[in-house]
Each structure stands twice: as structure tokens, then as C-alpha cells.
Amino acid sequence: MKAALLQMVSACSVQVNMDTADQLMAQAAAQGAELAVLPEYFCLMGQHDTDKLQIAEAFGAGPMQTALSAMAKRHGLWLVAGSLPIAVPGDASRVRNTCLVFNPSGENVARYDKIHLFHFDNGLENYDEARVLQAGDTPVCFDLPSRDCHTWRIGLSICFDMRFPSLYQQLADMGAHLMLMPSAFTYTTGSAHWEVLLRARALDSLVWVGAAAQAGTHENGRRTWGHSMWVDPWGQVVACQPQGAACVVADLNMQTLLDRRQQLPAVLPVVG
């Protein structure tokens, strides 16, 4: 299965970011991808944490969700839409950091709410997603019937989640062949930990891993690490884009996964 990570340097304008996402999806479709993955916060890297509250949409309704559905249908792609703020009913001070999945008909087929909220303070940088985010609590997989005649079970996660192996063990127990990690890693943490975490998560369960990243210096001054990366089930990096907006395509081979699991029976066999 050919799949694309859509790396972005998101701005403070939702419309600009949606246009960029659409352009990158067109590139993915032109290269024959079936699956496209946007990064965390693809729709907005705001000036303040509370900017997320201003653009939050009710689940199943709103201009961003409508546009994403239309993009998936127009480009004929499975779209894993990074993350966008989804309103919490009855609490205007919190949103969920939500990854939505659309099939090539434009239907929303899966929703994952980020479970582990980022908190980092080194004295120079301070981030605390719990100020405006409500954590999710449920691991999510979805099935993608591919042109390669396999049905890929795909596990969803977001950014900081990748530091918690127990989540990926749950996804592996649910039968995941591919784990996706839309992200917006800071430059500081990414330069130290990004690649080793992605390779470790691939090796934990002998799965394919794909991480679409924010990648550069944003309008709000935040600097993100980038390095959108595909990692194979043997923990080898097969594609990587350090910085800037880009479409990072890789051919994901189910047989590679099955062969590695036969050679090293560290997980239950998966068929599909």
C-alpha cells in the first residue's frame, strides 16, 4: 500500500492551512497514494492555547470537517486528518484534540481523542495541553481495504502518546499492522527523542509506523522538529523529510510485516 505523510508548517490562519492540506493531498493522489496523513494541529498553530477554543467544532458538523470530507472524496484518498479541536459538550473551556478518519467517499469512519496530554517545562519553554484540552480514554483502530488485497488494521495515536508503550500494546492486541502518529514535536524534544521513539514503537510490535509532523518555524514563534518518518517493522527508517511542507510517500508491504513476525515471533500472528 502506498501511503503519504503530509508534512506542514501550519500558520495562524485556518483557511491557509486548509488550502495547504488540500495541495499536499493532491500531490499524494498524483503519486498513487491510497492513504494520506496530516500532522497534529494541521488546521491551526495559534498565538495562544485558547485559540483552539475559538475554532472548535461539534463532532460531525462544522466547516473544517465538511472541507476534510470533501478533500478525501475529491482526491479519492483515505484521510487521517491529523488533529483538530472538537468541542466538549457542556464545557466551553475545554476541547478534545481529535484525529478524524475519512474514507474515499468522504465518510467519517473513525475518531480518536488524544489520551496523553503534552506537558514540558525546561525553564525556557513551557507547554501544558491540559490548560485547554480534555484527555481521551479509548484506543482506536480502523480497517482499510487496500488495493494490495490486504485489509490493513491501522492504530491511531497523536504525538505525546508515543512515549507510552502501553497504548501501542493495546493497539497491537487489537490487531494493528500500522500505527500512525500525527505530531507537532517541539524542536527541543524532537532533536533528542523523535527517531528513537518511532523506531522503538515499530519494534515493540513489529508494525509499520508513520508519523506526519509539523516542521519549521511557525508564525507564532514556535519551532517544531519535523522529520516526518516512515519506519518498517524491523525498526528501519525508510523515508524521512527533515523540514518544510512536503509529501513523504512510502510503499508499505504487508508481507514484510508477516515475514518479520514469523522470523521473530514476539507478537501474535496477524492476518489480513
- Catalytic site residues? 40, 114, 159
Q: What is the dihedral of CA 255, 261, 267, 272, to 10 degrees?
A: 20
111 neighbors 139 (Cβ within 8 angstroms): no
Instruction: State the amino acid at position 229 in one-letter form.
Output: M
User: DSSP characters for 175-218?
Assistant: T-SEEE--B--BHHHHHHHHHHHHHHHHHHHT-EEEE-BB-SB-
Q: Is 73 helix (H, G, I), strand (E, B) or coil?
A: helix
167 neighbors 161 (Cβ within 8 angstroms): yes
> What letter does residue 143 receive in the DSSP assignment?
E
Q: How many residues does the chain have?
A: 272
Residue 171, beta-bridge partner list: none
4 neighbors 35 (Cβ within 8 angstroms): yes
Helix or strand (DSSP H, E) at 171: helix 165-173
Instruction: State the amino acid at position 230 in one-letter form.
Output: W
Residue 214 CA, chain-centre distance (Å), reads: 10
53 neighbors 96 (Cβ within 8 angstroms): no
Q: How far is CA 115 from CA 109, 167, 272, in A?
A: 19, 9, 28
